[in-house]
Amino acid sequence: GQNIDQPTEMTATEGAIVQINCTYQTSGFNGLFWYQQHAGEAPTFLSYNVLDGLEEKGRFSSFLSRSKGYSDLLLKELQMKDSASYLCAVMDSNYQLIWGAGTKLIIKP
């Protein structure tokens, strides 16, 4: 079967750095996506990795290791508005997204 695992919840302090892990087992791999979802809202795209290594986008960066089957989303200089759920999704061999349940990130002042 196909499986995406993420921690259910994480807590971090404003101004700090947090790393959210996503491990996956899927039938095929055509890229990994990270989305942000604020409570009651739609998911919005954060990052995409298809090759091993780091993709950086401002305060957000994402690392992929295909051989070990995981990705880490790194958020720096945390702000209160970063309180949200972070969804990991892998595109499988049928080019369909398989989604993790999401990690709820709580930012404390």
Partner 1 sequence: NAGVTQTPKFRILKIGQSMTLQCTQDMNHNYMYWYRQDPGMGLKLIYYSVGAGITDKGEVPNGYNVSRSTTEDFPLRLELAAPSQTSVYFCASSYGTSGNEQFFGPGTRLTVL
Return residues touching partner 1 (CB under 8 A): 4, 8, 30-31, 33, 41-45, 48, 50, 87, 89, 91, 95-102
The beta-carbon contacts of 76-79 under 8 Å, at least 24 apart in sequence, are 76/17, 77/15, 77/17, 78/12, 78/13, 78/14, 78/15, 78/16, 78/17, 78/18, 78/107, 79/14, 79/107
Specify the residue, 72 or 92, whose C-beta has the smaller distance to partner 1: 92
Find the shortest distance in angstroms from Cβ 45 to partner 1.
4
Find the shortest distance in angstroms from Cβ 109 to partner 1.
27
